[in-house]
Amino acid sequence: MKNLLELTVVYKNGGCDKVGMVVENIYNGGYAGRNQEHVREHIEELAKVGVPAPTTTPTLYPLANYNLTTADRIQVQNSETSGEIEYVLLWQAGRAYVTVGSDHTDRELENFSVAKSKQACPNIIAKEVWLYEDVKDHWDQIQLKCWVTKDGQRVLYQDATLAALMRWEEWEPIFTKLGITKLNNSVFFSGTINTVGKALIFADKYELEMIDPVLGRSLRHEYTVQVLPDGIK
C-alpha cells in the first residue's frame, strides 16, 4: 500500500514545482533534544498526564504509511489528544526535502503504549516543502512556532529554533544501526520542542510555522481537531 501526497517545492529563488510524494515508510522520533535538561523537562510534561518515561533516548517509532496527511482538519476518538510541532524530512526520487509538521498524539492511549498512541492519530505536514540542501548550512537558525486555540483563546504554545533538536546527521547512524539504509519514499518526524507553558494543551486548533530568517521565508500549516462522538460499547 502506498500513500500519495501532492506537495509544492518552494525554491530559494522563489520559484516552485509540484511533486508527487510517494509515502512508503514513516518514522517518528522522540525525546530528541540536543539539551538533555530540556529532554527531561519534556518527559516531566508527559508524566503529568500519566505517560511513562522512556528507557532510553532518543526513541524512534515506525508508523503505517497511510498515517500522513496535509489535511486542515483531523478526527480523533477522545478529547485528550494534542499536536507537537516538528521538522519533517522527506526523501523522494533521490532528493531530500524539509517541511513543518505535527505529530498528533492520543494522550489517553499514550499511558498504555506510546507507539499505539501515535498510530491512533494522523501525522500532519504542510503542503509546501523546501529543498534540504537549501537550508542545511543555516539549519540551526530556522525557527519553529506553534500557536493553539482552546475554547476561543489563542496562545503561543511552542517556540524554539532547530538548534534545540538533533540534526539529521545525528539520526543517520541510528537509522543505519537499525538496518534502515534506504530512505527513498520515507518520511521522518524529528521529535518536538518543549512547550512554552511546560504543560500540554488539548487544543481545538493548531497553527504551525517554520521560519527561515536567512532566506526570508516561511512554511505554514494549520488544522482543527474534531472529537468523534462516543460509539455503542
Mean of the per-residue pLDDT values of the chain: 94
pLDDT at 51 over 90: no
Digit-coded pLDDT (tens) for 127-138: 999 999 999 999
Digit-coded pLDDT (tens) for 93-106: 999 999 999 999 99
pLDDT at 50 over 90: no
- What value does the mean pLDDT take over residues 159-163? 98
DSSP assignment of 85-136, as one string?
A: EEEEEEEETTEEEEEEEEE-EEHHHHTT-HHHHHHTS-EEE-SEEEEHHHHG
Confirm whether 232 is domain-assigned.
no
Confirm whether 13 is domain-assigned.
yes
The total number of structural domains in the chain stands at 1
Confirm whether 126 is domain-assigned.
yes
Domain containing 198 equals 3-227
Confirm whether 67 is domain-assigned.
yes
CA 123 to CA 26: how far, in whole Å?
9
CA 76 to CA 25: how far, in whole Å?
22
Q: To the nearest 5 percent, what fractions of the chain are helix, strand and coil?
A: 20, 45, 35
Q: How far, CA to CA in Å, does 114 sit from each of 110, 132, 189?
A: 5, 29, 15
pLDDT at 75 over 90: yes
The alpha carbons of the chain give a radius of gyration, in whole angstroms, of 17
The CATH number for 101's domain is 3.90.850.10
pLDDT band at 46 (very low <50, low <70, confident <90, very high): confident
Beta bridge partner(s), residue 6: 20
Cell of 89: 524530512
CA 81 to CA 103: how far, in whole Å?
11
Confirm whether 233 is domain-assigned.
no
pTM for the model stands at 0.94
Out of 7-16, 34-43, 90-99, which region has the weakest mean confidence (pLDDT)?
34-43
DSSP state of 53: P
Confirm whether 121 is domain-assigned.
yes
